Every structure is written in structure tokens, then in C-alpha cells.
Amino acid sequence: MVSGGRLKGRVALITGAAQGIGKAIAVKMAMEGASLALLDIDERVMELADQLESEAIPVCAFKVDVSEEESVEDAVKRIVERFKRLDVVVNNAGTVRPAALEEVTDDDWEVVIRVNLKGPFLCVKHAVPFMKEQHYGKIVNIGSRAALGKLDRTVYSTTKAGIIGLTRTLALELAPHNINVNNVAPGPIATELFSAANPPGSPKTKAIIKSVPLGRMGQPEDVANVVAFLASDEASFVTGQTIFVCGGLSIGGVYF
């Protein structure tokens, strides 16, 4: 794997890196020269770290639930001990419990809010003191096009709209510390999360693809490319923004 590029010398923490968009972000950032700290609740994050290490990428991995404060705090401390700095946090870990309003259970509400909102809050809370010390940091949240409205996503869209507020508020608070905070909001991306709710080839999936102005599903790399840009110094005058990576779906039309 090539090691050079826009993130050379940077240390990037990526949550939810075991698969899907998070894994693509990890691979892209490694190609751009970053050292990686990968967090996931799924054991397979260790396998990804082993694979990247065998390609000479400096990497450490932690099996961590991002909604558990002690584990997050401990992981961040160990990352800084290992790499001596922390430049980038990508809050990618997320979950969805599709349901219409009256079918949403207490458990759905608790779990989705914990993972999608409390997780990013905790990761940022424990990373920012180190970023302030360095007077440098890039935080990239992964929101969703669903923040604009999506059927059967009562809790999920609420959390992703919350991420927009979190991004804008932290951007203001952290700007004096040279820390940029942005939000990447994907549309339909071909990952396990998406296909669990929308089986490939199903009438619903076909209708979703038809509604995308660019006429295709997004790939995890489509998101990773934008995240890498926002994590780099090429985006140093961009903060507090939400960038939709959704094939034009955010412009309007029918939201499935």
C-alpha cells in the first residue's frame, strides 16, 4: 500500500472501522499516509488492523462500544500514549432500527441515541483536550441524508439531525483552537447496514436507486474520499458544514 499524501504524519481515530464505510475510510486514510487507531464493538476490527499492519501501516485497534465513556476515555489515552498525538477523529460508528413511529420500542430509542449521538459526543469529549494541546484537530462526523426526512427512520433521522447541531456548535466552540468540525451526510451506500434494511434487488431498493439523481448506489469509497479531504489541510477553511454525499438525493424528490 502507498504511504504518503495529504495525511502524512497525522494520527486518525476512526470509529466503526470493522466494515462498510468505516473500513473504507481507514484504508483511504492509510493510503494518504495517516497512522490509524481503529475502534469497533466488532472483534473483526482486530483482523483489519492485522491486515493493515502486515502492509506496514502504523495501526492500533480497540474493541470498544463508543457509547461507554470509560472504554472510550481509556482507548483515547492509549492511542495518544502509542502515537504521541491525535489529529483526526472520524465519528462513523452508527446503527439503525427501521420502524414506523408506533412500532419504535424504548430499546430502539435508547440504542440508536446511544450509538449515534452519545458515541460521537464521548469520542470528541475525550479527544479534544489532546487536540487543544496541539492547537490542531479535524473532527469529521458521519451523519446521513436521512436527517432531511426518511420513512421508517424516526429515531435514526432524529440522531442524524442532531449530528448537524453538534457539528455546528462544536465548530464554533473549537475554532479558536484550530480544530475543524464537519459532517459528511451519505445517501444510500452499498454496505451491510444498508442492505440489511434494503435487500439488494428488492422493489424498495430499486425504487431508492431510481430516486437518486445520479442513478446509482454510492460506494463506501465515495464517502471515504470526502472524509479524507475534510480531514486534510486542503479543507482548513471549512468548518461547521454538512456535505451530502448522496448522488443528489438531498436536492429533493421522494425520500424512501
Ligand X SMILES: NC(=O)c1ccc[n+]([C@@H]2O[C@H](COP(=O)([O-])OP(=O)(O)OC[C@H]3O[C@@H](n4cnc5c(N)ncnc54)[C@H](O)[C@@H]3O)[C@@H](O)[C@H]2O)c1
144 vs 154, which CB is nearer to ligand X?
Answer: 144
Does 142 interact with ligand X (rule: CB under 6 A)?
yes
Does 194 interact with ligand X (rule: CB under 6 A)?
yes
Residue with cell 475502534: 39
Distance in Å, CB of 40 to ligand X, minimum: 4
Cβ neighbours of residue 15 closer than 8 Å, sequence gap 6 or more: 22, 39, 40, 66, 90, 91, 92, 93, 119, 123
Q: In the annotation, is 136 catalytic?
A: no
Q: β-pairing, 59-63 with 35-40?
A: parallel
Crossing angle of the two packed helices 106-113 and 154-174, in degrees rounded to 10: 30
200 vs 233, which CB is nearer to ligand X?
Answer: 200
Does 21 interact with ligand X (rule: CB under 6 A)?
yes
Does 193 interact with ligand X (rule: CB under 6 A)?
yes
| Long-range contacts (CB closer than 8 Å, 24 or more residues apart) made by 161-170 | 162/116, 162/117, 163/91, 163/116, 163/117, 163/120, 164/242, 166/117, 166/120, 166/121, 166/141, 167/141, 167/143, 167/240, 167/241, 167/242, 168/240, 170/124, 170/139
Cell of 197: 434494511
Distance in Å, CB of 41 to ligand X, minimum: 4
Distance in Å, CB of 9 to ligand X, minimum: 26
Binding to ligand X (CB under 6 A): which residues in 171-190? 186, 188-189
Name the catalytic one among 130, 156, 229, 244: 156
Q: Indicate which single residue of 19, 158, 178, 241 sits in contact with ligand X (rule: CB under 6 A).
A: 19
Q: Indicate which single residue of 154, 167, 182, 191 sits in contact with ligand X (rule: CB under 6 A).
A: 191
Binding to ligand X (CB under 6 A): which residues in 49-88? 65-67
- Distance, in Å, from the CA atom of 35 to the CA atom of 12, rounded to the nearest integer, reads 6
Binding to ligand X (CB under 6 A): which residues in 89-118? 92-95, 115
Residue with cell 448522496: 246
132 vs 168, which CB is nearer to ligand X?
Answer: 168
Catalytic residues: 156
Chain residues binding ligand X by CB under 6 A are: 15-16, 18-22, 39-42, 65-67, 92-95, 115, 119, 142, 144, 186, 188-189, 191-194
